């Protein structure tokens, strides 16, 4: 085996993820796998999602791979570091990639990692892998674009940037056959009553949100053709029969012509699979809503983030509260559910902004909304803005960016109460409008408790 690809997401070790139970295969690794296999490399995939750390250790002992490629993100860093140590123990070279490692490359290189991939991994690994296999003792990879490593003099070298893949239609589809797709479908059906498979139609995001990392696919936008996407949808539907698709694009509706072309292509093939996707409100209008309906969109997620225009402007979202509310009405009028992402605790947010967000949710009436507290991802403008005030009691290898606290910000307990107040107040309003008065009264009680907790903690700040 030339390369073993794996990741650090162990579902059995994450109680929160087990409660949600919406796992998807590691799409990035599967794209790397299909790319390298097409070039003649022998590649194995250890999909840790339904496995254990012990089974990973057994896989290493059994396969003895020369090189292991580890995908890493914010939530999996601690597991990835443990896995890298095990790889080193069996004599494998270790390469890590994903959104988290590039901004922390020196830390990874100090902990059992030989190289960090910056950006897309397909072409970089195709160039680096032969060097690792032919000269396993060498650390002279300066000609390989898109990596960070330590050379023979123990100096950290960051090579020239790797050009992004331009022709996505020329890329093979993700290597889904390398993992147990039926296990994913069964997990979804067992918890939710339907199954879902992820797909990618484009890479990159050209927008400017200050808290968002674009370290893998970059700040451009590269899209597949409608025919290519329809071909893959047809194959996935024939092979796995999912109940819905999840288009993982950062902004699925960024290009109106593509969405219309895809709707036309799918209709021509008499192919209609329900799906969910993510969009921005400013990329939604009557024509887009009509095309999404023809395609079979059952739910569209909008990055609403806040109901305060002041906060949205501070995030550099380049969207208005009115646009979000208008887009929600357009979609729901066509039977498309709307989900919203709401972010609390961004710099400059005050209680009046939280109230504006509650008012916004009542007016918009999304079918569902999810809340998170802003956290600074290294490499983003938001991280740079708050970096002098970041604090953590955990060492680097034991923490993620979500474990960082921002000195001067309200306490985590304040935001627990804020979430309770926000969710309960919106639920109270929804129940009241529907005539469910007893439920409305119960929600009002919870909202009042959340509001009281916020009021008591308003003066406390992280020190």
Residue 415 placed within a domain: no
Considering the domain architecture, whether residues 146 and 224 belong to the same structural domain is answered as: no
Lowest-confidence region among 15-19, 102-106, 180-184, 262-266 = 15-19
Considering the domain architecture, whether residues 204 and 284 belong to the same structural domain is answered as: yes
Residue 349 placed within a domain: yes
Residue 388 placed within a domain: no
In the 3-class helix/strand/coil scheme, how is the chain assigned residue by residue?
Answer: CCEEEEECCCHHHCHHHHHHCCCCCCHHHHHHHHHHHHCCCCEEEECHHHCCHHHHHHHHHHHCCCEEEEECCHHHHHHHHHHHHHHHHCCCEEEEECCCHHHHHHHHHCCCCCEEECCCCHHHHHHHHHHHHHCCCCCCCCCCCCEEEECCCCCEEECCCCCCCCCHHHCCCCCHHHCCHHHHHHHHHHHHCCCEEEECCEECCCCCCCCCCCCCCCCCCEECCHHHHHHHHHHHHHHHCCCEEEECCCCCCCCHHHHHHHHHHHHHCCCCCCEEEEECHHHCCHHHHHHHHHHCEEEEEEEEECCCHHHHHHHCCCCCHHHHHHHHHHHHCCCCEEEEEEEECCCCCCHHHHHHHHHHHHHHCCCEEEEEECCCCCCCHHHHHHHHHEECCCCHHHCCHHHCEECCCECHHHHHHHHHHHHHHHHHHHHHHCCCHHHHHHHHHHHHHHHHHHHHHCCCECC
User: What is the mean predicted confidence (pLDDT) over 136-153?
Assistant: 92
User: What is the mean predicted confidence (pLDDT) over 379-384?
Assistant: 94
Considering the domain architecture, whether residues 26 and 132 belong to the same structural domain is answered as: yes
Residue 398 placed within a domain: no
User: What is the mean predicted confidence (pLDDT) over 120-126?
Assistant: 97
Considering the domain architecture, whether residues 18 and 98 belong to the same structural domain is answered as: yes
Q: 391-420 pLDDT, tens per residue?
A: 998 999 998 767 889 999 999 999 999 999
- Which pLDDT value is given to residue 16? 87
Look at strands 156-158 and 147-150 and give their pairing.
antiparallel
User: What is the mean predicted confidence (pLDDT) over 413-435?
Assistant: 97
- Which pLDDT value is given to residue 40? 97
- Which pLDDT value is given to residue 431? 97
Percent of the chain having pLDDT more than 70? 100
Last residue of a domain, one of 347, 374, 401: 374
**pTM of this structure:** 0.95
Are 313 and 210 within 8 A, CB to CB? Answer: no
CA dist 460 and 463 (Å) reads 9
Are 112 and 19 within 8 A, CB to CB? Answer: no
Residue 103 placed within a domain: yes
Considering the domain architecture, whether residues 129 and 212 belong to the same structural domain is answered as: no
Considering the domain architecture, whether residues 329 and 218 belong to the same structural domain is answered as: yes
- Which pLDDT value is given to residue 404? 86
Considering the domain architecture, whether residues 343 and 261 belong to the same structural domain is answered as: yes
> Which band of pLDDT confidence, cut at 50, 70 and 90, is reported for residue 137?
confident
Last residue of a domain, one of 108, 133, 158: 158
Considering the domain architecture, whether residues 153 and 50 belong to the same structural domain is answered as: yes
> Which band of pLDDT confidence, cut at 50, 70 and 90, is reported for residue 102?
very high
Considering the domain architecture, whether residues 247 and 146 belong to the same structural domain is answered as: no
User: What is the mean predicted confidence (pLDDT) over 445-460?
Assistant: 96
Structure tokens at 39: 């070039």
Considering the domain architecture, whether residues 257 and 356 belong to the same structural domain is answered as: yes
Considering the domain architecture, whether residues 148 and 216 belong to the same structural domain is answered as: no
> Which band of pLDDT confidence, cut at 50, 70 and 90, is reported for residue 69?
very high
Residue 362 placed within a domain: yes
CATH of the domain at 69: 3.40.50.280
> Which band of pLDDT confidence, cut at 50, 70 and 90, is reported for residue 248?
very high
CATH of the domain at 204: 3.20.20.70
Q: 344-364 pLDDT, tens per residue?
A: 999 999 999 999 999 999 999
Considering the domain architecture, whether residues 149 and 254 belong to the same structural domain is answered as: no
Residue 322 placed within a domain: yes
Last residue of a domain, one of 138, 158, 178: 158
Q: 202-213 pLDDT, tens per residue?
A: 999 999 999 999
- Which pLDDT value is given to residue 400? 76
Domain count, the chain: 2
Residue 402 placed within a domain: no
> Which band of pLDDT confidence, cut at 50, 70 and 90, is reported for residue 135?
confident
State the average pLDDT for the chain.
Answer: 96
Write out the residue range of the structural domain in which residue 50 sits.
Answer: 3-158
């Amino acid at each position: 085996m030339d390369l073993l690809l794996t990741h650090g997401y162990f579902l059995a070790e994450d109680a929160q993820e087990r409660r949600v139970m919406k796992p998807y295969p590691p799409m990035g690794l599967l794209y790397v796998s299909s790319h390298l296999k097409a070039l003649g490399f022998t590649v194995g995939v250890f999909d840790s999602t339904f496995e254990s750390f012990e089974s990973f250790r057994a896989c290493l002992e059994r396969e003895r791979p020369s090189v292991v490629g580890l995908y890493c993100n914010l939530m999996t860093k601690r597991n990835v570091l443990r896995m890298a140590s095990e790889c080193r123990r069996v004599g494998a070279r270790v390469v890590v990639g994903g959104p988290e490692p590039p901004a922390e490359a020196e830390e990874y290189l100090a902990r059992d990692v030989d190289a960090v991939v910056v950006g897309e991994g397909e072409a970089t690994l195709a160039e680096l892998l032969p060097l690792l296999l032919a000269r396993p003792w060498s650390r002279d990879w300066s000609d390989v674009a898109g990596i960070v490593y330590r050379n023979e003099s123990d100096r950290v070298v960051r090579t020239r940037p790797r050009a992004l893949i331009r022709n996505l239609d020329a890329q093979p589809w993700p290597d889904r056959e390398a993992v147990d797709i039926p296990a994913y479908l069964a997990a979804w059906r067992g918890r939710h009553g339907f199954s879902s498979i992820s797909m990618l139609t484009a890479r990159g995001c050209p927008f400017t949100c200050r808290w968002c990392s674009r370290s893998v696919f970059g700040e451009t936008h590269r899209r597949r053709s409608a025919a290519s996407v329809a071909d893959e949808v047809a194959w996935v539907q024939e092979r796995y029969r999912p109940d819905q698709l999840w288009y993982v694009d950062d902004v699925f509706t960024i290009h109106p012509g593509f969405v219309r072309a895809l709707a036309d292509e799918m209709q021509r093939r008499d192919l209609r699979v329900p799906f969910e996707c993510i969009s921005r409100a400013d990329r939604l209008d009557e024509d887009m809503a009509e095309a999404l309906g023809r395609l079979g969109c059952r739910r569209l997620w909008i990055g609403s983030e806040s109901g305060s225009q002041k906060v949205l402007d501070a995030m550099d979202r380049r969207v208005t509260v009115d646009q979000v509310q208008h887009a929600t009405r357009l979609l729901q009028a066509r039977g498309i559910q709307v989900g919203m992402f709401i972010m609390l605790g961004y710099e400059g947010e005050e209680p009046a902004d939280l109230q504006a967000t509650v008012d916004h949710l009542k007016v918009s009436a999304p079918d569902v909304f999810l809340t998170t507290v802003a956290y600074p991802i290294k490499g983003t403008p938001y991280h740079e803005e708050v970096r002098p005030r970041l604090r953590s009691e955990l060492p680097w290898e034991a923490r993620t960016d979500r474990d960082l606290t921002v000195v001067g910000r309200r306490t985590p307990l304040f935001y627990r109460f804020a979430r309770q107040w926000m969710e309960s107040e919106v639920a109270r309003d929804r129940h009241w409008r529907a005539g469910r008065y007893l439920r409305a009264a119960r929600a009002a009680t919870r909202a009042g408790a959340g509001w009281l907790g916020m009021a008591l903690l308003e003066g406390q700040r992280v020190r």
